[in-house]
Amino acid sequence: MNREDFPILNNNIIYLDNGATTLKPKVVIDKMNVYYSSYSANAHRGDYKISLRVDNEYENTRDLVRKFIHASSKKEIVFTSGTTQSINMVVFGFFSNYLEANDEIILTKSEHASNVLPWFKIAKDNNYKIKYIELDDNYEVTIDNLKKVITPNTRVISLAGITNVIGDARPLREVISIAHDNNILVVVDGAQMVPHMKVDVKALDIDFLAFSAHKMCGPTGVGVLYGKEELLDKVIPQNFGGGMNESFDNLEEVYLKSLPTRLEAGTPNISGVIGFGAAIEYIQSKGINNIRKKELELGKYLYEELSKIRHITMVNKKPSSIISFNVDNIFAQDVAVYLDKYGICVRAGNHCAKIIKDEIGIKNTIRVSLYFYNTKEEIDKLVELLKDKNKILNEML
């Protein structure tokens, strides 16, 4: 599917690390190059033509994002540097004021570091409690287990829509519905979800959603924080400076702009945001549902093929577009180095989900994460190289 759109694929690599970042199509690269070569002015500043063009393109991306996640208003879309900054912005700018001592924050043990450490920090500083939804035998979140950890002190649940270790999709609709019945807010880490499936923030009733452009064919250094307008309006800016103030004369008279610019101090990543717009259009042209269908088909095929290899132990207990596994008695990194010799890019490690080891009992795995431009032939090549354990042992050094 559309491999010719990606210049990097001319290098004969097999790229299976899409959970880390995705490849960039030519339309995205070109879009950013045109900004730098033809109208590289600042945003929201000048009264001249090329600056207005910047504003138009920049705000056009905001509207593309709004439509892509089905938000009500452009005011609800804040550009950040990525999912990490988005989550930090909502944790430190909103929840550190919203929560009170002994309030409870619910997480899971398969969250990415970005959705754990900011919460740890405010919990430690302010005496909030962290609780975890117990994962079931498939390492998934169930509604029964969610209900078990909710107490009258629970104020927020923060979890990934799709996890980055085994790619399981969380039952967001039910989670959010139960949360809201109990006056609990929900933050969704959408880094692995928004690029891979249709997300309708209104239908799901998501309170805050964070995601990154680079995991959906866009440039690095750009992300989004979505928040319901009435909640986002209460986020205290973590950065003050140019672009976010209306006027200031002295300490008592500082007037800030309205949403969303109030939360975008300083010169933003303009080329990145504009490139992100091209990435969204590109993904829309392929169809997000088609993308999901294709990657799940590939994931099923990969799961079945790996299941046939005796010396491979998968963490996943069912197919998914992200599969983590180990070759028995060979360290994950050695397998990754071996595959790299054949131009295959996979991730070895803990995938930034350092507390999931409590659940799965292993720290490090090899992770294959697929996207729509991957092919069955690529999976065949991977599987062929993994089948022969002696070959791995002979060639991994």
Residues designated catalytic: 352
- How near is the Cβ of 344 to other proteins at its closest, in Å? 14
Taking residues 27 to 66 in sequence order and writing x for each that binds other proteins by CB under 8 A, - otherwise, the string is: ----------------------------------------
Binding other proteins (rule: CB under 8 A), the pick from 85, 115, 350, 374 is 350
Taking residues 61 to 100 in sequence order and writing x for each that binds other proteins by CB under 8 A, - otherwise, the string is: ----------------------------------------
Tell me which stretch binds other proteins (CB under 8 A): 150-158, 305-313, 344-352, 369-377.
344-352
Tell me which stretch binds other proteins (CB under 8 A): 151-159, 173-181, 253-261, 345-353.
345-353
| Residue 317 near residue 360, CB atoms below 8 Å | no
| Residue 353 near residue 111, CB atoms below 8 Å | yes
The letter for the amino acid at 305 is E
Binding other proteins (rule: CB under 8 A), the pick from 331, 375, 383, 389 is 331
CA dihedral 150, 151, 152, 158 (to 10 degrees): -40
- Residue 13 binds to other proteins (criterion: CB under 8 A): no
- How near is the Cβ of 333 to other proteins at its closest, in Å? 4
What phi and psi, each to the nearest 5 degrees, are found at residue 341?
Answer: -65, -20
Binding other proteins (rule: CB under 8 A), the pick from 113, 117, 309, 396 is 396
Closer to other proteins by Cβ: residue 49 or 363: 363
Which position has the token pair 């891979």? Answer: 196
- Residue 337 binds to other proteins (criterion: CB under 8 A): yes
- Residue 341 binds to other proteins (criterion: CB under 8 A): no
- Residue 332 binds to other proteins (criterion: CB under 8 A): yes
Distance of CA 181 to the CA centre of its chain: 27
Count of Cβ atoms closer than 10 Å to residue 154 Cβ? 19
The letter for the amino acid at 277 is G
Partners of residue 212 on adjacent β-strands: 223
Q: The tokens of 348 are what?
A: 């070895």
- Residue 345 binds to other proteins (criterion: CB under 8 A): no
For the sheet with 208-212, list strands across it.
77-80, 223-227, 208-212, 185-189, 154-160, 104-108, 129-133
With a CB cutoff of 8 Å and minimum separation 6, the contacts of 113 are 352, 353, 354
Strands 77-80 and 223-227: antiparallel
- Residue 376 binds to other proteins (criterion: CB under 8 A): no
- Residue 349 binds to other proteins (criterion: CB under 8 A): yes
- Give me the residues that bind other proteins (CB under 8 A), please: 330-334, 337, 340, 348-350, 363-364, 393, 396-397
